[in-house]
Amino acid sequence: MTDLSTIKIQSVRDDFPILSRSIYGKPLVYFDNAATTQKPVSVIEAISNYYRNDNANVHRGVHYLSQHATGAFEDVRKQLATFVNAGSPSEIIFTRGATEAINLVASSFCETFLKPGDEIIVSALDHHSNIVPWQVACARKSAQLKVSPVTPEGELNLEEFAALLSERTRIVAISHISNTLGTINPIADIVKMSHSQGVPVFVDGAQGLSHGPVDVQQLDCDFYAFSAHKMYGPMGIGGLYGKSSWLNKMQPYQLGGEMIDKVTFEKTTYNEIPYKYEAGTPNVADVMGLGAAISYLQEIGWDFIKAQETDLLNYATASLQGIEGVKIIGTSANKAAIISFLIEGIHFFDAGTILDHMGIAVRTGNHCTQPLMDFLGINGTLRASMAFYNTRQEVDRLVAGIHQVKTLFA
């Protein structure tokens, strides 16, 4: 790394207060970014500022605070639409996160379009959140869930995926990036193959928006879900991009205030998109935090983020491969900065607990991908997921920690 890069990394780390704290008397090494990323000061301050100065319900008042909060709220919708290159801000729906966005489409789309005998395709790489809602929808509608298999390296086999597409396929639901293996799926190819059969594509982008730019129009996906807390924003907020052609046809997922046009005791008509899908009082403060997170990512720049994460992935991969008895799980040629691994003869929970007492936070378990673990023939892994604020020195701490774990179990 150049001196300039080193200077920028330190400057970036200074933006994240939690990175300076200690765990069990050791400086924190945070390698659980796939679970949630840490938050820069600008995000924390945006949330605080809303409650200190602008707190009011949106879309419902003529007084100054309500009008001001509404304007700021809708400005973030526009900002997000630009960030993912949506065709219109009306194609952006605020949700509690990617999980709610998946449930929204699984409920609304399937209620409208899924019939007995139809099929939905997911993949063996997917998170439980992108399996269970579609599984339940299939059970409710007497449809069938089809699973696109993966190779031992953790990549989708596109020939086998293509073979699953049929006249019965109603939607493909696929993750952009595997939260367990780091595999980056070829979404544009999957969309092209699916659209050639007239099949829409839903993308679980929970891991996508934190690692690189996403252009939904270039991908041509029909839906794209995300969570703010995976992209340096607050928890409890996220969203869904959906093509207006689909959103206008689907029925709303939740019912209540704000999403209505007119209510009588005889009949209710629904609001226009996106409000048709945003029932109740929204999480306005965390929308402000999401806006600040987007601004922060744009300020840091994707070039720096991708270069830093690629360097960390390559360095960590080589370092872990150099440890006898360590096996990396998932060796796709196209990966994000996520590494799952096992230490021979040592349970991942035991190893993770010991590393934690060294101040090193890694994830242990099945990472909400039990079907993938079953396919791989294992119960779980240790997972080190890195962000642009991590450093090679922290990777060295992880390597040293693994050596200590091995010594303890020798």
Degrees, nearest 5: CA angle 120-126-128: 90
Phi-psi region of 345 (alpha: psi -120 to 50; beta: other; left: phi over 0): left
Length of the chain measured in residues? 410
Whether 22 and 149 map to the same domain: the answer is: no
Q: Are 308 and 262 in contact (CB under 8 A)?
A: no
Q: How confident is the model at residue 19 (pLDDT cuts 50, 70, 90)?
A: very high
> Are residues 396 and 355 both part of a single domain?
yes
CATH of the domain at 83: 3.40.640.10
Query: Is a pLDDT exceeding 90 seen at residue 280?
Result: no
3-state secondary structure of 98: helix
User: 291 and 350: one domain?
Assistant: no
SS3 of residue 335 by DSSP: strand
Contact between 311 and 9 under an 8 Å Cβ cutoff? The reply is no
With cut-offs at 50, 70 and 90, classify the pLDDT of residue 273. confident
Chain-centroid distance, C-alpha 213: 13
H-helix or E-strand spanning residue 162: helix 158-164
Mean pLDDT, residues 273-280 taken together: 88
| pLDDT score at 1 | 45
> CA 238 to CA 229: how far, in whole Å?
8
The CA R_g of the chain, rounded to the nearest whole Å, is 22
Give yes or no: residues 94 and 188 share one domain. Answer: yes
Return d(Cα 93, Cα 274) in angstroms, integer: 6
CA distance 47 to 290: 9
- Cα–Cα distance measured from residue 350 to residue 343, given in angstroms and rounded to the nearest whole number: 10
Pair 279, 203 in one domain: yes
145 and 281 in a common domain:
yes
Strand ranges for 96-196 from DSSP E = 119-123, 144-148, 169-175
What are 369's two structure tokens? Answer: 């991908």
Q: Report the distance separating Cα 51 and Cα 32, nearest Å.
A: 29
Say what the pLDDT of residue 3 is: 52
Q: How many domains does the chain have?
A: 2
- Same-domain check for residues 305 and 217: no
Q: Report the half-sphere exposure of 249 (CA within 13 A, side-chain side).
A: 12
Active-site residues, by number, are 368
pTM: 0.95
Same domain membership, residue 105 and residue 12: no
Q: Which whole number is the average pLDDT over 129-140?
A: 97
Contact 372, 150 (CB under 8 A): yes
> In this model, does residue 2 exceed pLDDT 50?
no
Q: Is the pLDDT of residue 388 over 60?
A: yes
Q: Which of 298, 330, 361 is the last residue of a domain?
A: 298
Q: Are the CB atoms for 156 and 182 separated by under 8 Å?
A: no
Each residue's pLDDT tens digit, 175-211: 999 999 999 999 999 999 999 999 999 999 999 999 9
Residue 27: alpha-carbon gap to chain centroid: 27
273 and 322: one domain? no
Percent of the chain predicted with pLDDT > 70: 99
Q: Where are the beta strands (DSSP E) in 108-222?
A: 119-123, 144-148, 169-175, 201-204
| pLDDT at site 227 | 98
Alpha-helical segments (H) within 214-369: 216-219, 244-247, 284-300, 302-321, 348-356
Q: How far apart are CA 33 and CA 9, in angstroms?
A: 17
Q: Which of 251, 268, 298 is the last residue of a domain?
A: 298
Residue 4 has pLDDT above 70, yes or no: no
> Which residue range forms the structural domain that includes residue 241?
44-298
pLDDT at residue 256, rounded to an integer: 78
